[in-house]
Amino acid sequence: MEGAVRVQILSQMGISEVPSQYIQPPKNRPESVTENIADLSCKHVPAVDLCSEKESVLPAIREACREWGAFHVFNHGVPTKLLDGLRRACLSFFNDFQMEDKLKYACNPNFAASEGYGSRLLVSSENETVLDWRDYFDHHTLPLSCRNPSAWPHFPPEYRELMANYSDEMRVLAQRLLALMSESLGLKASCIEDAVGEFYQNITASYYPPCPQPDLTLGLQSHSDIGVITLLIQDDVGGLQVLKDGEWLLVDPLPNAILVLVADQTEIITNGKYKTCVHRAITNASKARLSIATFHDPAKTVRISPVSDLVSQSSPPLYSSVLYRDYLSSWYSNAPEGKRNLDKLLLDTSNYCSALYAIKKRNKNSQVLFHLCNEIKFDVCIEASKAWGD
């Protein structure tokens, strides 16, 4: 069981000041938080109608992925009854049951991202210098071999069935969206999914209680998601912000829409053509907020790299390849701080051009590759040889 105090308990105690471990450093604090969160102005995240003709859907997705890393989809095929039912069930778990009953599902404090009810994202408090103002329940839902509904709440009684059905719907939608994203880049529909392999999916219901000092806290710190694609629904309270052109913009909740967030592995696979979305959650003083995020990741044994069709002499690889296990470990070790983890994989493209030139000049002699691998990054040489057809 996780030993951290639940944020909901702190909120219900009626405290007037948040404990020091929840106070963000000044540079990370929200610039403007009002009693009415809807008063926060924002530019609108793009919205895509999936029932439109593909000729209009593909350009819309391409622009959204390049410029925002996020977009809403509607007419997505997921039943509204399921969306509303799951939101109600998750909200009921947090609000309608005794803490002692909820704590029976507490996550294991010794493992990062363990399934269950928790408040602390990371295992090590040394790296987690500031805590998020939220509680959550994390469900491991795919592959089916990882799905154990008995580890999920049995109250309200429809909770487990709703979560399982929602998981299945999100898998289908994620596959559909990755196919459209691939086609929007001129790739075959299965390209991104082929690079990812079997989905490892988990669903996190996040509950953000009212906060007495929302100007000092964050419900969720700034980060980009580490996987491939995230699908998110929220209630009508609002509080999710995305970083666009250096400005934090509030994402208006759209009824029955699902928010799509491009994640780190997709930026790598698309060689930076599609951008991961940096986002965070702010709090407010009067209303609790609920969101449900569905994450789709590769298996830990999958190696992720830019797809070869998007790498050429004129478009060198921007990222080195990475074993997803290592990427995951690095993220949990260093805490979610913007895109720091992803930026570690950036390549020096001048090295790539040097490798490509040497391969061409020496008639693709394998010894050249051997020496280059000792002089510069191994991944640069491999991608350069692929681009030259070696």
pLDDT in tens, 176-217: 999 999 999 999 999 999 999 999 999 999 999 999 999 999
Specify if 357 maps to a domain. Answer: no
Average pLDDT over residues 247-253: 94
Residues in the chain: 390
Any bridge partners for residue 4, and if so which? none
CB atoms under 10 Å from CB of 361, counted, come to 10
Q: Residues 282, 241: contact at Cβ < 8 Å?
A: yes
Helices (H) and strands (E) in the chain, counts: 12, 14
Average pLDDT over residues 9-29: 95
Residues 6+ apart with CB under 8 A from 209: 7, 8, 10, 11, 12, 133, 134, 135, 288
**End-to-end distance of the chain based on CA atoms, in angstroms?**
53
Where residue 345 falls among pLDDT bands split at 50, 70, 90? Answer: confident
For residue 18, what are the domain limits? 7-28+42-350
Average pLDDT over residues 68-82: 98
Q: What pLDDT does residue 368 have? A: 46
53 has pLDDT over 70: yes
Nearest alpha-carbon partner for 383 in 293, 316, 338, 332: 316
Specify if 387 maps to a domain. Answer: no
- What distance in Å separates the CA atoms of residue 376 and residue 373, rounded to the nearest whole number? 6
Specify if 370 maps to a domain. Answer: no
Specify if 75 maps to a domain. Answer: yes
Lowest mean per-residue pLDDT among 17-26, 119-128, 326-335? 119-128
Specify if 204 maps to a domain. Answer: yes
234 has pLDDT over 50: yes
User: Which own/partner contact pairs does 97-105 have at CB distance under 8 Å and 24+ positions apart?
Assistant: 97/155, 99/6, 99/8, 99/9, 101/155, 102/6, 102/153, 103/1, 105/137, 105/151, 105/152, 105/153
The two structure tokens encoding residue 262: 């491009």
CATH of the domain at 131: 2.60.120.330
For the beta sheet containing 247-250, the strands, ordered from the edge strand earlier in sequence to the opposite edge, are: 220-224, 278-281, 240-244, 247-250
Q: Residues 66, 273: contact at Cβ < 8 Å?
A: yes
Where residue 370 falls among pLDDT bands split at 50, 70, 90? Answer: very low
CA trace torsion 382, 383, 387, 388 (10° rounding): -30
- What distance in Å separates the CA atoms of residue 283 and residue 242, rounded to the nearest whole number? 14
Strands 116-118 and 135-142: antiparallel
Per the structure, the count of domains in the chain is 1
- What distance in Å separates the CA atoms of residue 328 and residue 304, rounded to the nearest whole number? 12
- What distance in Å separates the CA atoms of residue 214 and residue 133, rounded to the nearest whole number? 9
Specify if 231 maps to a domain. Answer: yes
Specify if 390 maps to a domain. Answer: no
Please list the alpha-helical segments (H only) found in the chain.
7-12, 54-67, 80-95, 99-102, 159-184, 191-196, 264-269, 324-334, 340-343, 349-361, 366-375, 378-388
Specify if 37 maps to a domain. Answer: no
Query: Phi and psi for 309 in degrees, rounded to 5?
Result: -65, -15
Give exposure, 368-385, as e/b (b: 16+ Cβ within 10 Å): bbeebeeebbebbbbbbb
12 has pLDDT over 60: yes
Where residue 358 falls among pLDDT bands split at 50, 70, 90? Answer: low
Tell how far CA 144 is from the center of its chain.
21
Q: Residues 261, 277: contact at Cβ < 8 Å?
A: yes
35 has pLDDT over 50: no
- Please write the tens of the pLDDT for every residue from 103-155: 999 998 777 778 999 998 665 544 457 999 999 999 999 999 999 999 999 99
The two structure tokens encoding residue 255: 């009824």
The two structure tokens encoding residue 385: 């040889």
